[in-house]
Structure formats: C-alpha cells, structure tokens
A = this chain, B = another copy of it.
Amino acid sequence: MKNLYLKYSTVNETTFLRHIAYDSVIFGFSGEKLKILIMKYHNTGLYALPGGFMQRDKNLNDAVRRGLKERTGLENIYLEQFYTFGDVARYKPEIMQMILEANGHHSEPYQWMLDRFISVAYYALINYNDVVPTPDALSDSCDWYDMDKLPNLMLDHAEIVAKALQTLRENLERKLVGTNLLPPLFTLTELQKVYEAILGEKLHRGTFQRKILGLGLLQRHEKQFLGKAHKAPFLYSFGD
C-alpha cells in the first residue's frame, strides 16, 4: 500500500504531505509592547508569518514545534492551535512561484509547492529575551515587529494575525497565559503590562492584583531591588 503514493512522488513530495501547511503567530513582549515574529523572503519584498509544511511521518503539532524551534531556538513553548484557513482565495501560485524563482528553485522537486494549500494556524507565547530569531533558507530575516506596526503581509497572513490576537484575548480570561510572555521571575506590575498590551486597555492596579493573586497560581519570592527611589516589589513565579 505504501507504494501507492511513492509511485507518483519525488523525494520532496514524500517527505511532506501535499496541500497542508502551517503558520505560526509567535508573540513576544518587550518595552510594554506586544510583538510578533515576521519573516522577509529573499529578493521579493514579501513579508510572511513563520510557517512550513507537514512531514509525512510527524504529528501535526510536533511538526509545528519543530518549526518553532528552528525559528526561535526554544523548546517547550506554549503553543495553541486556533484555526485552519482553507479558502480557495488563498491559492495564489504566482506568489510561491516568485519566492521559488528568487531562490533559484526552478526544478521539478519544488513544483508541488505551487499547488493549493490549507494552513493550520497556531499561536505561541515566548519569553522575548530567550529568543534568537533565525531566518530559514528562503528568507533574509526573521524579526520582531510591534503588533501595531506590522508590514504588509502576504496572502491572508494579516487575517491570521488578527484571529490569533482575538483568540489570545478570549483565552486570557480563562487561562493564566500571560506568564508565558515573561521571564520565570516577574513582578505583578510587569504581568499587568502584559495583560494591558494583549487586551489593549488599561487595568486598575488594585483590582488586577487581587484577581491574579486570588487565583492562587503564583508563588511569591524575594523582593526585586532595582535601585529606584521607591518601594521594591515582590517577584513572583508561575506554579503552585
């Protein structure tokens, strides 16, 4: 039975499943701003989300994790699948053609990339400072962009980003995911800034602290002395 597809396939086609791609919206937090990682393709002026194709012998989720590790260097990332985009309108072979040609890939083994794809979209939350953004073979750069200063993204990637943010906001109320964007030790004010950046609104300090501490999910540690002329805040970590 295994020969069924081998019969029609080149090496590349058997490595990956046709028609299936993934894209990831990788959130980071720095300077009180929410940011995401954006790639720029060689010689095309095209900006895109980090993504990839799906290996035939891997779980979908694992394929995405592997891609994330290549782009960020990190493992054990907080990762959530949020939607699968499957409109016909996202089938624009001329764009992939442009990318391939800009990289000198004219030959057969790459032609399957020109077919129609659906994309399973994930968002990831990472500690900004831990990351070394790394471009892939087709890209010049992989860089952080403020959520409110994104370049024009190719295909439907702007829509993917919008839906990622919407889902993150909804999940923020149900899960304590804000901590995933911070270092292991953080102050409540820092955590509040993360929530404000995600929700896009100011929160009341007293109410926020009462609510977060009331969940009983944070552990209090020593104080953080930064040499500023005011009371030093406690540091917290996530986990009992």
Contact = CB atoms under 8 A, between A and B. Distances in A.
Contact of A17 (B19, B59, B87): B19
**Most chain B CB neighbours (cut-off 10 Å) among A8, A20, A57, A58:** A20
B59 A88 contact: yes
Interface stretch (A78-86, A133-141, A197-205, A212-220): A78-86
Q: What is the predominant secondary structure among interface residues of chain A facing chain B?
A: mixed
Given A8-B8, A111-B4, A174-B170, A118 B20 contact: yes
Nearest to A5: B115
A105 B100 CA distance: 40
Interface string A113-128: 0111010100000000
Interface of A: 1, 4-5, 8, 17-20, 54, 56-61, 63, 81, 83-89, 93, 97, 111-112, 114-116, 118, 120, 170, 174
